[in-house]
Amino acid sequence: MDNKQIIEKAAMTLADLASGGQLNPEQSNKFLQMVQDAPTIIRSSRFVPMKSDSRKIEKVGFGNRILRPAQEGVALKEEDKAKPSTDTVTLNAKEVIAEVNITYDTLENNIEGDNFRNTLMKMIAERAALDLEELILNGDTSASDAYLKLLDGIRKQATSHVYDHAGGGVDRALFKALYKQVPAKYLRNPKQFRFYTSHGTQIEYMDTIAARQSNLGDAAVEGKVPTAFGVPVEGIAMLQPYDTTVDENPATVSDAILTHPKNILVGMSRNISVEVDKDIRERKFIIVLTAKVDAKFEEEDAVAKAINISEEA
């Protein structure tokens, strides 16, 4: 196959990515699945497909005791009857966009025939998943970064139970204090919760475990996911350290979040648009992808956050 045939084949393959500028349902579902499968916080969260830009998630539960002493032949008083608490979490998707440029030379050197479309979409999905993780975690409507300014991420949303580690290092006391921040009523099965940390925090904790002469120490050296008080400590790529001031001294610190993975709602619209164009002057293909996303805690009260964690050994 000569270069002309390669470019023509690539043009047809790229054009097949879109159906009227929008992925068809099968392509959309496959793309969403690729985003979900990427090794980010999205994979363990509760993924909520959205048919429109807004979706309400209804919450029903009992926050207090519902059982009362029983008396034969006597009905419960009105004040003793249990009523479920109800609430609504609303996801409002914000639009994000990506433009990918692929030169003819790249195609000539890397064309994969019929697999080209799948390979390209997989690469876009993996990078998009990482970028979405950054927005979901670090979004802040008061930020100077235009992308992060789109929405408030879960880092900012976690406000009810905050523990300040005051520049302390990564140790057992950190996870103990963070664990005790979450109200006991949510910790019925703590093994299903996660300590989400930066990779640096996770490594520092694994290093303290590795120093032990035990099976746990061996497991840490082998790179197995560590636990603290029975809860897995999971490093997240985009939960990165940041510069701040601790006790009037400049410091680089990180955060950690404790919650149930399914308490994190990640909403993404199925209306994913992929449009393709060709620039013959610059000899390149242009692929523009747009999607809509939002993230919320289903129950923010079931979240604890630790701040000002030093990752220095």
Please give the pLDDT value at position 163.
Answer: 96
CA nearest to 119, candidates 17, 37, 195, 241: 17
DSSP string, 127-165: HHHHHHHHHHHH--TT-SSTTGGGS--HHHH--SSEEE-
Q: Kindly report which listed range (46-55, 69-78, 101-110) carries the lowest average pLDDT score.
A: 101-110
CATH of region 161-263+299-310? 3.30.1930
| Per-residue pLDDT reduced to its tens digit, 243-285 | 888 777 888 899 999 999 999 999 988 677 777 777 888 888 8
| 3-58+89-148+266-295, CATH topology level | Major capsid protein gp5 fold (3.30.2400)
| Per-residue pLDDT reduced to its tens digit, 1-20 | 454 554 454 554 555 554 44
Domain boundaries, the chain: 3-58+89-148+266-295, 161-263+299-310
| Per-residue pLDDT reduced to its tens digit, 181-222 | 999 989 888 899 999 999 999 999 988 887 765 555 555 555
Q: Report CA torsion sign: 16, 285, 4, 120.
A: negative
Which run of H or E residues covers position 29?
A: helix 25-37
DSSP string, 189-221: SGGG-EEEEEHHHHHHHHHHHHTSSSHHHHHHH
